[in-house]
Amino acid sequence: MNEKIEKDNKDIVTAFIKGLNVIKSFDRENTSMTLSDVAKKVDITRASARRLLLTLESQGYVAQIDGFFSLTPKIIDLGYSYFASLPWSDLAYQNMKKVVDACKLSCSISILDGSNVICIMRIPATRILNEGIHVGSRLPAAYTATGRLFMTQMDEKNLYEYVLKLPFKEMTKKSITDPYKLYDKLIKEKKLGYQVVEEEIEDGLMSLAVPIFNRENKMIAAMNIGSHLSYKNTKVLKEEVLPLLINAAKDTSDAIKLLQQY
């Protein structure tokens, strides 16, 4: 949010925003940090970082050992509040489980958040693939089937503006790095009903995504599967796995629409 808007709006608690930024400053590369580390990363004073970290520590969300702070497992409770607000999560889980049992591949549900997609539900397969993906993982929308599927739901004007703002990076030799090329591709695939991305985020990795709709037929999430092509070839994924995914997402959408009637 714009800093000026924060200062002008008396209803916004800037200290709370800073506290959230402190929580988000911890990541895979920064699992444990000093006061100075946090202050520098969040761009706040050392005194402010100290007050925020000690407040989080008092509530059990942060632990301190020898001057280094780290998040505790209690922080997961904040995420569970989101899942608890989804009345269809149990139904989605059952449908995802059918897909996993049938194709022996991990299945996820993800949503779009800015220029990234976030995994909000995941059922791992017995065979461990893409083990770096877990609930809460963020991936670039430009190179994921989920991200591109959400883009196909946008009208042409919004899609054009959205794509121009995306951060592009050559993840692999097949990655699309030209926003105009991606825009043209998505316009052509708007009526496809699903998205397939092959080896654009990681060599040898293919991802499939199909939409989950609410009662207003607005896409609210995507059910997706990723597989290394060494395990499943492209033909098998498209001809055998994709139909399973489409049926599971449709059943989930139908259940959501039924729930929203009451």
pLDDT per residue over 191-219, tens digit each?
A: 999 999 999 999 999 999 999 998 899 99
**For residue 20, what is the enclosing H or E element?**
helix 14-25
| pLDDT for 124 | 87
Query: Hey, what CATH class is 3-75 in?
Result: mainly alpha
8 Å CB contact between 117 and 139: yes
Decide if 3-75 and 86-259 have a common fold: no
Residue ranges, the chain, pLDDT below 70: 1-9, 76, 79-87, 126-132, 260-262
- Strand order through the sheet with 138-140: 138-140, 116-123, 107-113, 219-228, 205-213, 195-198
Measure the CA–CA gap between 225 and 107, rounded to whole angstroms. 5
| pLDDT for 5 | 44
| pLDDT for 251 | 93
Homologous superfamily of the 86-259 domain (CATH): GAF domain (3.30.450.40)
8 Å CB contact between 106 and 133: yes
pLDDT per residue over 8-25, tens digit each?
A: 567 788 888 898 899 889
Rounded to the nearest angstrom, the gap between the alpha carbon of residue 133 and the centroid of all alpha carbons in its chain is 10
| pLDDT for 126 | 63
| pLDDT for 47 | 93
| Domain boundaries along the sequence of the chain | 3-75, 86-259
Measure the CA–CA gap between 134 and 79, rounded to whole angstroms. 13
